[in-house]
Amino acid sequence: MALASVLQSESVDFSNYGRQRRGFASGLYETELGLESVGGDSLSFALRTSCSNGDGPDRKIEFLHGTTTLAFKFQHGVIVAVDSRATAGSYIASQTVKKVIEINPYLLGTMAGGAADCSFWERLLARQCRVYELRNKERISVAAASKLLANMVYQYKGMGLSMGTMVCGWDKTGPGLYYVDSEGNRVCGDLFAVGSGSMYAYGIVDSGLKQKDLTVEEACDLGRRAIYQATYRDAYSGGQVNLYHVHSEGWTRVSQSDVLMLHQQYQSEKA
Amino acid sequence: MAARYDRAITVFSPDGHLFQVEYAQEAVKKGSTAVGIRGKDIVVLGVEKKSVAKLQEERTVRKICALDDHVCMAFAGLTADARIVINRARVECQSHRLTVEDPVTVEYITRHIATLKQRYTQSNGRRPFGISALIVGFDCDGTPRLYQTDPSGTYHAWKANAIGRSAKTVREFLEKNYTEESIATDNDAIKLAIKALLEVVQSGGKNIELAVIRRNQSLKLLESKEIETLVTEIEKEKEEEAEKKKPKKST
């Protein structure tokens, strides 16, 4: 895979060096971080963090594999929660990155991988969605929007695009959540977490979603908690937690909480 | 060089007409009649079957074609041109299913066909398609639709319409007889289509081909027996009405 040769994977403790396939990653290509999607399809989609080890070529591109983005469907729509840290190797480039792209008033896209790739293609998607709306006099469905994005990037497969995004929205069939990446994967699901901190996020959300029928408040808290826990353990995630809620009227920006504040809040709750 | 196709065939006349398009519409007027009716839970297409030569197999050329499970069309005009248009429309129906993961709406596929036709009125070295099409079907939400396109590339939605030879007569008949009651049931809508065609078709039921789409069902071509039965019903009703009128006159 072109991307694999560009990146050399140094990962956090839980994964191996190099491109070893993990047991549960059926791994289409080498750039996996061995995380299955919820449905058990053994698709690996999270990308490894890049590093400048000195053995590989100098990497001047800033990637956002070091990230935690998360989205899950629940009774009242979709919760989208992301962190806001950008790293270049072990250097924290920014703590205030906007990793949720507002495609249009009822569609959101998250950003993982190359920031430029994500924002460019999602803005292009916004243009396509608007044209569709004007031509057909009705909003585009989440399935169609994610399909358009997947088809667009598929043409550049193997040319070094790096994008792992979740397209979230609400259409006439209800809440919609699709994971689309630059490998050409497009998967529908109820829960996705992408990035180096995704494992920690999964742990929180999986246990929190056991109780069905979450209220909006509870779901937001769960999303916020999941990102917080990921930032607590993952060095490459941090900054603020940006939380969005997608419902039948569109999306709402629920909150932006600094992780350190959340830490103090949760600590005091423990006491 | 001729290979460059520099010259446009469809050019404006001094008084603003596109003669090629109008000639194409003349070609449509020579084709056999087709009628379309939009009922409440059914859409009906009826065409006049041209008499077939003795040695010719009857079923080779069908004038009513399915574009997808829920959309079908009938045309009037040049059969060869229609084949091309139908092929493109069928491919587009499937492409739409692939990219949008939803079946086409009748309006979408009509718009696609109309855009295709318009492109041929503004291209090098090409002539317009010599067909008008009646496109019927149900949208995802269950609404029945009937659209008509013509060689210029315009399209409109209709409650009932006719194209081809004697289209005007049939349309006038429909204007008089299309009421909410007359299409109240599926059967009534089918009978209205047959009645409309009988106005212009010689020798009755044998020369009529009828197709229906019901909501959530695919295209169904009626068998000649069914058509014959309906035609006899219609003729009976006509006689009964004529008899009712008679006694009033003789007082």
Q: Do A136 and B99 touch (CB under 8 A)?
A: no
Residue B70 binned pLDDT confidence (cut-offs 50, 70, 90): very high
User: How many Cβ atoms are within 10 Å of A255's Cβ, its own excluded?
Assistant: 14
Between CA A145 and CA B112 the distance in angstroms is 20
Between CA A169 and CA A157 the distance in angstroms is 25
Distance to chain B for A147, nearest Cα, Å: 6
Q: Are strands A107-110 and A164-171 parallel, antiparallel or unpaired?
A: antiparallel
Distance to chain B for A36, nearest Cα, Å: 24
Question: Which amino acid type is present at position B78?
Answer: L
pLDDT at B167: 94
Between CA A162 and CA B110 the distance in angstroms is 39
Look at residue A13 and give its three-state secondary structure.
coil
Q: Are strands B71-77 and B131-138 parallel, antiparallel or unpaired?
A: antiparallel
Which two tokens mark B142? 């269950």
pLDDT at A63: 54
Which of A125, A128, A134, A136 to mutate against chain B (most B CBs within 10 Å)? Answer: A136
Closest listed residue to residue A172, CA positions, set B175, B101, B189? B101
pLDDT at A51: 40
A69 is catalytic: no
Q: Do B102 and A143 touch (CB under 8 A)?
A: yes
Place of tokens 């006159």: B249
Distance to chain A for B123, nearest Cα, Å: 23
Which two tokens mark B105? 């709406």
Between CA A205 and CA B83 the distance in angstroms is 56
DSSP-assigned letter for residue B206: G
End-to-end CA distance of chain A: 50
Q: Splitting chain A (271 residues) into consecutive groups of 10 residues, what average pLDDT does each group show?
A: 43 36 37 37 39 41 74 94 90 91 92 87 94 94 96 94 93 94 94 93 91 88 95 94 95 95 93 79
Please report how many Cα atoms fall inside a 13 Å half-sphere around the Cα of residue A98, on the Cβ side. Answer: 9
Closest listed residue to residue B194, CA positions, set B155, B159, B233? B233
**How far are the Cα atoms of A201, B59, B106 from residue B71, in angstroms, in the given order?**
47, 21, 7
The active-site residue, picked from A31, A49, A67, A68, is A67
DSSP-assigned letter for residue A165: E
Q: Residue A269: enclosing H or E segment and its boundaries?
A: helix A259-270
pLDDT at A55: 38
Q: Which residues does chain B have within 8 Å of residue A148's beta carbon, measured at their own beta carbons?
A: 99
Which two tokens mark B57? 């197999």
Which two tokens mark A160? 């070094």
Q: Which residues does chain B have within 8 Å of residue A140's beta carbon, measured at their own beta carbons?
A: 100
Judged by average pLDDT, the poorest of A11-25, A222-236, B29-43, B72-86 is A11-25
* pLDDT, mean over chain B: 90
Between CA B85 and CA B237 the distance in angstroms is 39
User: How many Cβ atoms are within 10 Å of B159's Cβ, its own excluded?
Assistant: 14
Which DSSP string corresponds to A134-176?
HHHSSPPPHHHHHHHHHHHHHTTTTTT--BEEEEEEEETTEEE
pLDDT above 70 as % of chain B: 95
